[in-house]
Amino acid sequence: MPRVDRPIVLVGLMGVGKSTVGKRLATRLDLPFVDADHEIERAADMTIAEMFARYGESAFRDGERRVIARLIDGTPKVIATGGGAFMADATRALILQNAISVWLDADIDVLAERVGRRDDRPLLKDKDPRIVLRQLAAIRNPVYAQAKIHIHSKPQPHDHAVNAILDALRQ
């Protein structure tokens, strides 16, 4: 197993599998797993959808940055972030400086099929997931590309992505 000396932070579009892959990666590395979105909801005592509705995306992103800053404390762990976290300059700089950043990427059709299983994503509310995901990918993928490691997630078991991350960490 590769030796990890700081947090591993998973970034990428919604539906790419950051939480699922993150949990499995953490298990394989014998590290704690933290879902930043769950930590944000816990800190705010409301859901992300409620935060977006009540305070707007800008206030949500500010809270998200503060929670991620708290999670990136130098202790090795695996952290799954929300799809927009890496887009904020301050959050991205924090991740790039203090963690091993991993961009999980997938084709739009794969993402659309995965996000269609849930109805709790504020950015998709009453919209066609394929259109929204294409628009987000056009804006976000060049930024996600700044991550240290790039893994393309295919429509196969998430353990393939975990193995690819482990291989990249060994290099």
pLDDT tens-digit series, residues 125-143: 667 788 888 999 999 999 9
Residue 71 falls inside a structural domain:
yes
Q: Is 20 marked as a binding-site residue? A: yes
At 140, which CATH number?
A: 3.40.50.300
- Is residue 162 included in any domain, yes or no? yes
Residue type, 10: L
Q: What is the pLDDT of residue 1?
A: 79
96 found inside a domain: yes
User: What tens digit of pLDDT does each residue of 81-138 get?
Assistant: 998 999 999 999 999 999 999 999 999 988 888 776 555 555 566 677 888 889 999 9
Any domain includes 2: no
pLDDT above 90 covers a percentage of the chain that reads 65
Q: What is the pLDDT of residue 35?
A: 96
54 is in an annotated binding site: no
Q: Give the range of the structural domain holding residue 29, as residue numbers without chain letter.
A: 8-170
Whether 3 is in a domain gets the answer no
Q: Is 37 annotated as a binding residue?
A: yes
For residue 14, being part of any structural domain is answered with yes
- 137 within some domain: yes
pTM of the model: 0.91
- Annotated binding-site residue? 132: no
Task: Say if residue 121 carries a ligand binding annotation.
Answer: yes
pLDDT of 8 reads 98
- Structural domains counted in the chain: 1
Q: Is 19 annotated as ligand-binding?
A: yes
| 61 annotated binding-site participant | yes
15 annotated as belonging to a binding site for a ligand: yes
Question: Does a structural domain hold residue 134?
Answer: yes
